[in-house]
Amino acid sequence: MSLHPKPRELNEMKTVDPVELSSRVIDQEVASEPTNRVTNELSEIADGVALVESFSHMVVFDTDEGLVSFDASGAQSGKAVTEALRGWRTKRVHSLVYTHGHLDHVGGSGAIIADAENRGYKPPTVFGHENIPRRLDRYQDTNDWNLLINRRQFGGVSPKHRLGLITDKTDKPLFVPKSTVWPDVVYADQMKLRVGELEMELHHGKGETDDHTWAWIPSHKALITGDFVIWVFPNAGNPQKVQRYPLEWAATLRKMMSYDAELLLPAHGLPIVGNVRINRVLKDMADALEFLVQETLELMNQGVPLNEIIHQVKIDEEKLSLPWLLPAYDEPEFVIRNIWRMYGGWWDADPASLKPSATSALAHEVVSLVGGLEVLLKRAESVAAEGDFRLASHLIEFAANAAPKDATVHGVRSAIYKERRRNEKSLMSKGVFAAAMRESEAIVEQVDDE
């Protein structure tokens, strides 16, 4: 779930074996190759344990009674992932466990059901946390909103990265494809599941979502982590999505550490073998999240406004350069905002923002104060040229909100966001700035046509 793999980098992929790569990356603390690989290829990680690397992964255990799969991957990758699975084992998929209800984890369930039908097998029983059906219901209530924000979130990367999630080609596009299977069995806190000789403990934990399951498989000393481990900075701040749970996320990582696991199978990124490596990665993530929560709460307790907090609280750059903490998807600044939202309210403690004037009224006032649009545009361009894109964005937004159809304004605006997108590291920032760039490009084109 990062910018990786870029198609160019796929060609640079030298290490086929994900365990070999993961051990090297962790031991050396550098990633010379992508760690999130959407290849739809299956690797046997241990005897009777397989991982299909995709967006997201499928983790499969072979038992006497049939296969147990953790996650179904997304709607776009479900078929390819199921085919990869069938290249390994042809038995019935007995049970399907959802690590959570995000579409890249449950959207491929239709492909697994179709495969069962083709083979004349009974469909799998689907397990998941009790909040998954609530999530899927919420997605239906906010269908168009979810289509919009996902287009924007993933809109900063090329379609070649195959991170799109939208599939249903009905009259009305559906965020949750019709073929998606709701869980048959839900649980609240924990649940023991036995299929054939395989015993599994399913545990609920809050982190990226409120419906997450992570699992402990004693016979393999294996942790199935879902999105608690994604080989990029934890997605605990996403600007366009519902509440995330940074402190609870860290607590779950610490609980996982107490198991002394020898194998960790995540839903994105590489599997990890060896207790020292596993606990190293889990601890780094937990430390980073706890640090953000502690620092943010400390400043909130002092009455510091949100804007000052996001500019004050920083994680060491050195930590952020670790391949499993790279802010390539989400970023710490957004996590701080999520912490504020969770422990505080929506108000950022700026008196002017409690009951603001209309955006356009403020913009007109600023434009008239500075002496016209041209002055503002010139200043926005020079501030951007100096590399202060935060300030340049404020200035260009005043101009665009004062003159929403002005081709010159939008020409400058699209150029600023094009450059800003290029300077950002995270997919989420890139997506938002690419969307702003495209919005302005469309206005310029429209005016040109008139």
Minimum CB distance to Zn ion smaller for 33 or for 227: 227
Q: Exposure of 120 by Cβ count < 10 A (0-12 exposed, 13-18 middle, 19+ buried)?
A: exposed
CB 232 within 8 A of CB 2: yes
Instruction: Give the phi and the psi of residue 46 in degrees, each rounded to 5.
Output: -150, 175
Least separation in angstroms between CB 41 and Zn ion: 18
Minimum CB distance to Zn ion smaller for 266 or for 332: 266
Least separation in angstroms between CB 180 and Zn ion: 15
Minimum CB distance to Zn ion smaller for 209 or for 414: 209
Alpha-carbon distances of 94 from 64, 65, 155, 275, rounded to whole Å: 10, 7, 37, 30
Least separation in angstroms between CB 425 and Zn ion: 19
Place of tokens 């085919």: 83
Alpha-carbon distances of 92 from 117, 145, 217, rounded to whole Å: 10, 37, 20
Q: Please, which residues bridge with residue 301 across strands?
A: none
Q: Exposure of 414 by Cβ count < 10 A (0-12 exposed, 13-18 middle, 19+ buried)?
A: buried
Q: Is the dihedral of CA 288, 289, 295, 299 positive or negative?
A: positive
Indicate whether 227 belongs to the interface with Zn ion (CB under 5 A): yes
Q: Exposure of 102 by Cβ count < 10 A (0-12 exposed, 13-18 middle, 19+ buried)?
A: buried
Minimum CB distance to Zn ion smaller for 269 or for 323: 269
Minimum CB distance to Zn ion smaller for 82 or for 235: 235
The amino acid at 235: N
Stretch that binds Zn ion, among 49-57, 168-176, 365-373, 374-382 (CB under 5 A): 49-57
Check whether the bond before 69 is cis (ω within 30° of 0).
Answer: no
Alpha-carbon distances of 347 from 93, 243, 350, 351, 363, rounded to whole Å: 49, 15, 8, 9, 21
Least separation in angstroms between CB 1 and Zn ion: 5
Least separation in angstroms between CB 2 and Zn ion: 11
Least separation in angstroms between CB 206 and Zn ion: 15
Stretch that binds Zn ion, among 52-60, 85-93, 111-119, 216-224 (CB under 5 A): 52-60
Spacing of C-alpha 307 from chain mean position: 24
Least separation in angstroms between CB 238 and Zn ion: 11
Least separation in angstroms between CB 208 and Zn ion: 7
Minimum CB distance to Zn ion smaller for 241 or for 421: 241
Cα separation of 38 and 362, whole Å? 45
- Cα-atom radius of gyration of the chain, to the nearest Å? 23
Stretch that binds Zn ion, among 223-231, 326-334, 372-380, 408-416 (CB under 5 A): 223-231
Minimum CB distance to Zn ion smaller for 56 or for 77: 56
Stretch that binds Zn ion, among 2-10, 212-220, 224-232, 426-434 (CB under 5 A): 224-232
Indicate whether 238 belongs to the interface with Zn ion (CB under 5 A): no
Check whether the bond before 5 is cis (ω within 30° of 0).
Answer: yes
Minimum CB distance to Zn ion smaller for 56 or for 76: 56
Stretch that binds Zn ion, among 227-235, 341-349, 403-411, 414-422 (CB under 5 A): 227-235
CB 336 within 8 A of CB 237: yes
Least separation in angstroms between CB 329 and Zn ion: 10
Minimum CB distance to Zn ion smaller for 210 or for 227: 227
* Residues 77 to 106 in contact with Zn ion, rule: CB under 5 A: 104
Least separation in angstroms between CB 267 and Zn ion: 5
Stretch that binds Zn ion, among 174-182, 219-227, 239-247, 302-310 (CB under 5 A): 219-227
Least separation in angstroms between CB 71 and Zn ion: 9
Minimum CB distance to Zn ion smaller for 66 or for 323: 323
Indicate whether 40 belongs to the interface with Zn ion (CB under 5 A): no
Minimum CB distance to Zn ion smaller for 104 or for 406: 104
Least separation in angstroms between CB 211 and Zn ion: 12
Place of tokens 């924007």: 152
Structure tokens at 313: 């609280």
The amino acid at 260: D
* Residues 53 to 72 in contact with Zn ion, rule: CB under 5 A: 56
CB count within 10 Å of CB 11 equals 9
Structure tokens at 155: 């809109």
Minimum CB distance to Zn ion smaller for 106 or for 217: 106
Stretch that binds Zn ion, among 15-23, 153-161, 221-229, 325-333 (CB under 5 A): 221-229
DSSP state letters, 302-344: TT--HHHHHHH----HHHHTSTTT--SSS-HHHHHHHHHHHHS
Give the interface with Zn ion as residue ranges (CB under 5 A).
56, 104, 227
